[in-house]
Amino acid sequence: MAMKEFVISEAQVETAVLVGLVTKTQDERKTNEYLDELAFLAETAGAEVVKRFTQKLDQANSVTYVGKGKLDEIKQYIKEEEEAEREIGMVIFDDELSAKQIRNIEAELKVKILDRTSLILDIFAMRAQTANAKTQVELAQYKYMLPRLQRLWTHLERQGGGSGAGGGKGSVGLRGPGETQLEMDRRIILNRMSLLKERLAEIDKQKSTQRKNRGRLIRVALVGYTNVGKSTLMNLLAKSEVFAENKLFATLDTTVRKVIIDNLPFLLSDTVGFIRKLPTDLVDSFKSTLDEVREADLLLHVVDISHPDFEEQIEVVNKTLADIGAAGKPMILVFNKIDAYTYVQKAEDDLTPRTKENLTLEDLMSTWMAKMEDSCIFISAREKTNLEELKTLVYKRVRELHVQKYPYNDFLYPTYDE
């Protein structure tokens, strides 16, 4: 009896296999980094990654994403694991799959098939706390589902096996009712989507009224890649209690706090982190959350300098900002986690060229400071290093912006003097 319970609880940890491609535009090192990130996403969603497969292809195979041989190899692996009583729970692909790809892969591998987008959506659904976030996630899920409905139906068909004439999957006898069902599903989903959109529009209206009523305060938004330390910094600056965790997408909805540095009050908001390969559709669903960023006067772009890929993360964030119409705003680059920065020291007699792995923190600091002038700063939110300097810098920029935006409002500064 006890034994059995143990086995059941053990079986609840779902195992995952990851699949990625090495292509003309994505070399092997890059693919491995993407798969590291995908593994982190899978862990965040509660799965345990047991194996990775990669394949070199010019581009993804339109029928099965990987080639036939690779798919057989994965199938073989799943079979062997099953024979050894190590059930594989799911296979996760690093790129968004089409309905056709999902259908074909599922037919071959016969396990749950996820892609990067559906995995992210799953985490979003898990994280959503507020009505706003929940509505946005649900809408995004339907957007993902709609073009893939066929697949959902195939799935149901198989479960409901014996009921209709013919039974088995995709059989001729079921085609008629199947299509009707599909049309019905589509209509139900479309109705639900317009309801959700109306609800979001309502929330948008409320939020924008709230924002208007906030008075003449400069608005500062923390932006950045997921897991860089935005919420940790928010908590330090605003002395608030925002959920911060070493998981991806710990924050989904926006929190706004009034912060006062010296005699200068301003609004600081913390919001959802960005990530690579996030479909624009999904970003769109978070419109009301991202309005806070779009309407900010100053962006604090937080970067995790201890991450080997931080430069690409900066680019992803800048691109996403442009996508949502928030490019070109005043910005301070806040390089966080300097306490965790590591580099590979080169031996004196090593004459191979220095790579980015060999750069010291000092090297990076001088490069970025030359590039950004006084618009970047290096801190550790964890060790509270350089926080005073950060506050001074933010104060300076917020004050400049305030004087520009509200020239007749300098009564906010009773001790204002230069």
Ligand X SMILES: Nc1nc2c(ncn2[C@@H]2O[C@H](COP(=O)(O)OP(=O)(O)OP(=O)(O)O)[C@@H](O)[C@H]2O)c(=O)[nH]1
Interface residue list for ligand X (CB under 6 A): 224, 226-232, 244-246, 248-251, 273, 336-337, 339-340, 380-382
- Is 251 a residue that touches Mg ion (CB under 5 A)? yes
- The reply to whether 255 sits near Mg ion by the rule CB under 5 A is no
The residue behind tokens 């950045």 is 224
How far apart are CB 251 and ligand X at their closest, in Å? 3
44 sits near Mg ion (criterion: CB under 5 A): no
Segment near Mg ion (CB under 5 A); pick from 136-144, 172-180, 223-231, 300-308 = 223-231
Burial (Cβ within 10 Å: 0-12, 13-18, ≥19) of residue 336: buried
Give yes or no for a contact between 90 and 84, defined as CB atoms under 8 angstroms apart: no
**250 is an interface residue for Mg ion by CB under 5 A:** yes
Cα(98)–Cα(79) distance, rounded to whole angstroms? Answer: 25
Considering beta carbons, is residue 36 or 185 the nearer one to ligand X?
36
Q: Which of 276, 247, 340, 322 is nearest to 44 (CA)?
A: 247
- Decide which of ligand X, Mg ion, none touches 259; Cβ closer than 5 to 8 Å per partner kind: none
| Minimum gap (Å) between residue 1 Cβ and ligand X | 40
The tokens for 300 are 């604090």
Rounded least distance, CB 341 to ligand X, Å = 9
Q: Closer to Mg ion at the Cβ: 52 or 230?
A: 230
Positive or negative: CA dihedral 51, 55, 59, 60:
negative
Shortest Å distance, C-beta 296 to ligand X: 16
Figure out which of the listed residues 231, 235, 254, 289 binds Mg ion, where binding follows CB under 5 A. Answer: 231
Minimum distance, C-beta of residue 251 to Mg ion, in the bound complex (Å): 3
Kindly report the CA angle at 400 between 396 and 403, in degrees rounded to 5? 135
Question: Helix (H, G, I), strand (E, B), or coil: what is residue 287?
Answer: helix
Nearest 5°: the CA angle 265, 271, 273 is 140
Choose between 74 and 303: whose C-beta lies nearer to ligand X. Answer: 303
What DSSP element (H or E) covers 291? helix 287-294
Report helix, strand or coil for 412. Answer: helix
Closer by beta carbon to ligand X, 21 or else 324: 324
Per partner kind, with CB cut-offs from 5 to 8 A, the member of Mg ion, ligand X, none near residue 275 is none
Backbone angles phi, psi at 380, to 5 degrees: -130, 110
The smaller minimum CB distance to Mg ion, of residues 35 and 256, is found at 256
Q: Which residues bind Mg ion (CB under 5 A)?
A: 230-231, 250-251
